[in-house]
Amino acid sequence: MIFRTARVEDIPQIQIVRHAVKENTLSDPALVSDQDCADYITVRGKGWVCEINGQIAGFAIADLQENNIWALFVRPELEGKGIGKRLHDTMLDWYFAQTQNTVWLGTAPGTRAEQFYRKSGWQETGIHGKGEIRFEMPYQLWRFGSFG
């Protein structure tokens, strides 16, 4: 497994991973364009990928403009191998090296993602969008909190 910064040339494989997920699926895959991905990893924030044998196994993208985790997805057949956790931790370490602003994300209730974020120390703060749970991670909790 190789963990590295996402590049624009990774976007076709990032899209494959995004469309392969079984939970938090896009109602319309056209809603997230290649240009959107490029903007998020080159202008708005930064992204990371996990690569196995030349294939993207998972990716994470943080958005500094909206203080948001834009994406964190792992191929369904590779879940449970620590890929998401390592991408998550790398992304949050980078995010909080850039700013002390609280970061937030939304995820569907009753999903493995919801469980993952709770276990990772995220705090539920309400509802976002169309019934998603809004989670927040304050700087102080990430830097000095204890969760596992």
Q: What is the CA radius of gyration of the chain?
A: 14
Can you give the pLDDT at residue 148? 45
For 13, 18, 109, 135, 140, the CA distances from 37, given in Å and listed in that order, are 11, 11, 25, 22, 29
Can you give the pLDDT at residue 134? 96
Q: Which amino acid is at 117?
A: Y
pTM of whole model > 0.95? no
Can you give the pLDDT at residue 38? 94
Mean pLDDT by 10 residues, the chain (148 residues): 96 87 54 85 96 95 95 90 95 96 93 92 91 94 72
Q: Where are the domains of the chain?
A: 2-144
Sign of the Cα torsion 51, 122, 76, 46 reads: negative
Can you give the pLDDT at residue 26? 46
CATH 3.40.630.30 fits 2-144, yes or no: yes
